[in-house]
Amino acid sequence: MVVKPMIRSNICINAHPIGCAKETARQIAYVKSQKAKRGTKSVSEGGNGPKTVLVLGCSTGYGLASRISAAFEYGADTIGVSFEKEASEKKYGTPGWYNNLEFDREAKAAGLKSETFNADAFADETRAKIIETVKSWGRKFDLVIYSLASPVRVDPDTKVMYKSVIKPIGKVYAGAALDMMTGTITQASTEPAEGDDIPNTVKVMGGEDWERWMKQLKDAGVLAEGCRTVAYSYIGPSLSHAIYRDGTIGEAKKDLEKRAKDIDASLKELGGAAYVSVNKGLVTRSSAVIPIISLYLGVLFKVMKKQGTHEGCIEQMERLFAERLFTGENSAAGKVPVDEENRIRIDDWELDPKVQAEVDKIMPTVTAENVAETTDLEGLRHDFLNINGFDVEGVDYEADLADMRSID
């Protein structure tokens, strides 16, 4: 089978096995190069960084990049959880399924412990399996990464399913929408939240599940002294606040930040801490269909690449680990720089006033005729395809794949 990207309504619905694996390998190679550049010592080399790490939502994006950073810069043994569609001989799996395969393969080759659970991270049964596994290792977690992004969640107690939505609150959100693949610009709008949209989104994307994870891990005695936990969020520029920070997702992220303080308090007796890390805006499956966002990202990427400050997921997470979390002696957990709300700001380069001023200057000038010059349209396309294993350097996309389960 020759695998080409299948795009429906600005969403790529398939994945290329070899492309996903090669992109994961590229991220691993980047982290190894940063390790050498920074002179970071892994655990086996006598380093004091993380030793046993749990990554919830480990298969793509910031979660995968976090797991790679922990393992291949600091030598941590890792447990990952994500819910993926497995491939069969003739049917492709989700990108994350292939990413996990490659991560586990490379971790094994590096002599690192790695176990990946294809399971519902919202379920108590999954929590029990993780606790049992880390106990069987004779270990405790010194770092827990919470990077779950799901449209649905089943409450473990009531068994009710909740669905999240990306909507503004109070009024319609409208603006120009850039199609990353065609370069066309249209006017689009998103209707405001109604009914239970807000509480349902908070139930799925807020901090309730994160807090439940940390409580059950702590009660089971599998959190190490000094254990830290980090969850991820986004704030973005003022032009996106109506759909993000002040919309349904924003309400969920505010709940995440509130619960971070409660988790932090519960970890104090272990000498630990909880943080929300506010990260940079990147191309995701949803950003392609939200008004303004794809256009903003196109201009942002253009400006940041020109200034030499653009980062993808792996660059962001490697910097988060090396320059925020593990800044102590010999890469030990150091003092974490935070803002007035106790949040880690790794979106600092995106929200640099000079960057935003340049973005604000360019945004009104973008037209269908000049979009390729005023935005990083090629970069957007690359990132959009890359998420699913396409447009990856070194992959023969004309090759016939005999088995969709193989990443070789």
CB 78 within 8 A of CB 67: yes
- 262: Cβ–Cβ under 8 A, 6 or more apart, which residues? 211
Q: Can 244 be counted among the known catalytic residues?
A: yes
Active-site residue, selected from the candidate residues 30, 92, 244, 296: 244
CB 168 within 8 A of CB 243: yes
CB 318 within 8 A of CB 71: no
Token pair 């032009």: residue: 239
d(CA 222, CA 217): 6
d(CA 196, CA 200): 6
Element (H, E) at 178: strand 173-178
CB 311 within 8 A of CB 348: no
* Helical axes 377-386 vs 293-307, angle rounded to 10°: 110
Count of H helices and E strands in the chain? 12, 13
Catalytic residues: 244
